[in-house]
């Protein structure tokens, strides 16, 4: 098969999605949706995350030096999409039904409905022209008990949580079926 050059993008390269949780100045939680997260090695496993432009999540990570990254699954996709398409600077973004708790190690908000969360501490950051890359230490990984159940196979456990992947501005379920374009699932979220 011959190859063709196409415009630069990361289309057809699926990404895992995370909701980054930070505490606002008033102590209440805020969540934003992010896919530019990957892993680094520096004697131990770490995380790198890139945040483009100015947004509340970035302000709060800079101010506190910590955040949570909560894995997005099919069950929470509408909420995740809403958090990815609603500006944290708008006062009523968080007027939606969400149950949160505090991290086991860091003072970060954990989304109860996500089965896995990293508690992250920024070790170093790299400022770009319009973005910033945060290099983070993973201070804790908090999971639902069912994910830690070694009696079940990895296949059974990952199928039970069904992480969402995204590419081409479209969400995909764990079995590969399309679950809507960016901005669509979040329309089902009703504000309080």
Ligand X SMILES: Cc1cc2nc3c(=O)[nH]c(=O)nc-3n(C[C@H](O)[C@H](O)[C@H](O)COP(=O)(O)O)c2cc1C
CB of 105 to ligand X, least distance (A): 23
57 vs 119 by CB, closer to ligand X? 57
Residue 55 touching ligand X (CB under 6 A):
yes
57 vs 114 by CB, closer to ligand X? 57
96 to 135: interface string for ligand X, x by CB under 6 A: ----------------------------------------
Residue 64 touching ligand X (CB under 6 A):
no
Of the candidates 21, 23, 29, 35, which one interacts with ligand X according to CB under 6 A?
Answer: 35
Q: Which stretch binds ligand X (CB under 6 A): 38-46, 85-93, 109-117, 134-142?
A: 85-93
56 vs 105 by CB, closer to ligand X? 56
Looking at the DSSP assignment, which residues form a beta bridge with residue 90? none
Of the candidates 21, 23, 34, 110, which one interacts with ligand X according to CB under 6 A?
Answer: 34
CA separation for the pair 90, 164 (Å, rounded)? 26
Residue 56 touching ligand X (CB under 6 A):
yes
In the region spanning residues 151 to 180, those forming contacts with ligand X, defined by CB under 6 A, are 166
CA separation for the pair 103, 122 (Å, rounded)? 15
17 vs 157 by CB, closer to ligand X? 17
| Size of the residue set binding ligand X (CB under 6 A) | 17
DSSP string, the chain: -------S--TT--EE-EEEEEE-TTS-EEEEEE--EEEEESSSEEEEEEEES--HHHHHHHHHSEEEEEEPBGGGHHHHHHHHSS-TTSTTTT-S---EEE-SSSS-EEETTSSEEEEEEEEEEEE-SSEEEEEEEEEEEEE-GGGG-TTS-HHHHHHHH-B-EEETTEEE-TTS-EEEETTSGGGG----
CA separation for the pair 81, 94 (Å, rounded)? 13
61 vs 157 by CB, closer to ligand X? 61
Binding site residues, ligand X, CB under 6 A: 30, 32-36, 51-52, 55-57, 84-85, 87-88, 166, 182
């Amino acid at each position: 098969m011959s190859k063709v050059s196409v415009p630069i993008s990361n289309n057809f390269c699926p990404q895992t999605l995370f909701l980054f949780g930070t505490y606002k100045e008033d102590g209440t939680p805020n969540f934003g949706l992010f896919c530019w997260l990957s892993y680094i090695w520096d004697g131990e496993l770490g995380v790198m995350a890139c945040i483009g432009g100015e947004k509340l999540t970035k302000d709060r990570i800079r101010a506190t030096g910590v955040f949570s990254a909560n894995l997005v699954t099919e069950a929470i996709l509408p909420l995740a999409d809403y958090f990815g398409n609603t500006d944290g600077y708008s006062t009523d973004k968080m007027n939606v039904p969400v149950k949160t708790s505090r991290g086991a190690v860091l003072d970060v908000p954990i989304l109860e409905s996500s089965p896995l969360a990293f508690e992250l501490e920024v070790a170093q950051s790299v400022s770009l022209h319009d973005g910033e890359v945060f290099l983070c230490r993973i201070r804790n990984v908090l999971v639902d008990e069912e994910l830690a159940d070694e009696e079940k196979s990895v296949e059974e456990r990952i199928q039970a949580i069904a992480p969402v992947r995204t590419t081409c501005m479209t969400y995909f379920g764990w079995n590969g079926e399309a679950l809507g374009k960016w901005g669509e699932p979040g329309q089902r979220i009703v504000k309080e």
